[in-house]
Structure 1
Amino acid sequence: MRTRLSLSVRGKRLLRELRRLRDERQMSPEDVAGQLGWHKTKLYRIERGESRLILDDLDELLELYGVRSPERESLFKLGKDAWKRGWWLAYRDLYQGESFFVMENDAAKISVFATNLLPGLLQTEEYAREVIRVMVPGATSDELARQVAARIERQGVLSRPTPPQFLAVLDEASLTRPVSSKDVHDAQLRALIELGKRPDITIQVVPLHAGVYMGLWGQFTIFEFPDEEDAPVAYQEGLFGDVYVEDSDDLARYKLAASKTRDVALSPADSLALIEKLSKESR
């Protein structure tokens, strides 16, 4: 079975546009391959994201399809950005694939529903180090240091000039569960308070008195993208690997869990007040 490349949102958009251009010209992949002297399966692999599209091949396709400026320049820019090397490639030996990092990097909105531990994008370095040490018991000291470095580098997505909208819905238990020392725990709570004041970050807390709610099925993330044609993707991490959900029916269950979880969460203002209260109590 072929493995699809971890395309960025720009890469997926480019492939959609190339398929549209071919369909408008009523050409089959075999027609295109014959006129360009390509193997008959080459365009199939490119359009399915199974083969990397180099710029020379893109140039040939656009010439065949008769695409002129300014659309040509726009598609070339997509082609240059589609498979751009991300910072995460320096850590690829630590993780299975890069799809998560690609989606997190390209998303316009990231919604995390965290019932057990605080989301990685909100963790302080000390909190992250302790969590990774416990959750990855076989990691060497070097691997631990690199995993912490990768987690902190991930947080750069929230420091961009135009960052994605970030929503974190936390369970109160994740705020009260001791992690390392009291100093580390309190520093993490105070960091949450400061992050929650930013206009691009929304933090809500489900209080313990809310009882059982749908989000307790497990921690998950929903990525939404700038282009309406790029459907949202739900992500859930587990002991036996990562799950990415794009099917509309399956995605609807995650959206329902998200909605039900927010229904029982405190407002952002009340949530920050609760975190401030917990911070004072932890000192």
Structure 2
Amino acid sequence: MAQVPSPTIRARRLRRELRRLRDRTGRTAEEVAKQLGWHRTKVIRFEVGHSRVMAKDVETLLDLYGATEKERETLTALHRQARQKGWWSAYGDVLPDDYVGFEAEADSISTFQSLYVPGLLQTEEYVRAIVRAGRGTADQDEIDRRVAARLARKALLARDQPPRLWIVIDEAAVRRVVGGPKVMRAQVARLVEACELPSVEVQILPFSAGAHAAMGGPFALLDYADPLLDPTVVYVDNDSSTILFEEERHVTRYRLMFDHLRAKALDPDESVAFLGRVADDYPV
């Protein structure tokens, strides 16, 4: 399966390029808005992604910033690509944030999960059990759509060049019985199978490791093929939302946290052996 350009990544790249061109002119966002007769926050909202930029607005900004012909071609193409639909748009009602769009074009994904098996390696039965538990008032149609959306994400690993996936999983995630013992046995077996993929590394953080740097919860670092064009982003999960961090200080903090977790976790070979023992604890 070939990789499809992510409109989420293209929209982010467009915002960054518009900010770069504005900085080149030495103008503040408020000065640009005033000169164009726009509301004073309009330019900032474009640049941080709080408002969708229209084609005519891109043209207006390029004129003001004195963009070269090459820059015009590049940014016009980015705007066109950013308006396309990713596969996840069909699940907009059950995929409320942009994480999947950022994940879709990642070259490397480094993630820590404390309570769940990571989404890209979940079995259908495990997904269904999680959705039912977390959406007690949902009807069957909503449950089915959430399950379908989660499973559709797994196509990422079937790409011609899948992302490098490095996962640290707290022991609690494989010990908690989600969906029953048979579901968990199959889920742990899926993790063992994934360990054989050349693009996947799995490490288990055992209870015996004690306190660690990510006691606050799960997170993911998403790296891209060209870090100058598409810098790393960090996603942090909590009970009600997902928070995106792009500033270098946040990226550095979470990268250090991930390195700390890797150092405290079992190495990949030990983790496979550990998962085998966990699987044996669940009845056939």
TM over 0.5: yes
Q: Is 1:267–2:267 an aligned residue pair?
A: yes
Partner Cα separation in structure 1 for residue 191 and residue 185 of structure 2: 10
- In the aligned structure 2, how far is the partner of 1:28 from the partner of 1:202? 45
Name the CA distance, whole Å, in 1 between partners of 2:260 and 2:280: 30
Q: Which residue of 1 aligns with 2:4?
A: none
The answer for the alignment partner of 1:121 in structure 2 is 120
Q: 1:55 to 1:168 in 2, by over 3 A?
A: same
TM, length-normalised to structure 1: 0.81
- 1:19 is matched with 19
Native 8 Å contact 1:9 1:225 kept in 2: no
One-letter amino acid of the counterpart of residue 67, structure 1: T
Match of 1:193 in 2: 192
| Cα RMSD (Å) | 3.0
What's the offset of the Cα at 1:56?
A: 4.7
Deviation of 1:82 after TM superposition, in Å, equals 2.0
More displaced 10-residue stretch of structure 1: 106-115 or 232-241: 232-241
AA paired with 1:207?
P
Does the 8 A contact of 1:115 with 1:174 survive in 2? yes
User: Who is 1:92 aligned against?
Assistant: 92
In structure 2, the residue corresponding to 1:137 is in which secondary structure? coil
* Larger CA deviation: 166-175 vs 247-256: 247-256
Provide structure 2 residue ranges, at least 5 long, that are not aligned to the other structure: 1-6
**Whole-Å Cα distance in 1 between the matches of residues 141 and 135 of structure 2?**
13
Say whether 1:172 aligns with 2:174.
Answer: no
- Unaligned stretches of 5+ residues in structure 1: 1-6
**CA distance, structure 2, for counterparts of residue 236 and residue 171 of structure 1:** 16
Residue number in structure 1 paired with 2:244: 244
Measured after TM superposition, the shift of residue 130 of structure 1 is: 0.7
Q: Does the 8 Å CA contact 2:110/2:165 hold for their aligned counterparts?
A: yes
| Displacement of 1:232 | 3.0
Equivalent position of 1:108 in the other structure: 107
Report the equivalent of 1:235: 235
* Greater Cα offset, 162-171 or 249-258: 249-258
Deviations 1:100-154 (A, max 9, x none): 2222223322222112111111100111101111122222211111111111112
Task: For residue 198 of structure 2, give the secondary structure of its aligned residue in structure 1.
Answer: coil
- Matched with 2:3 is none
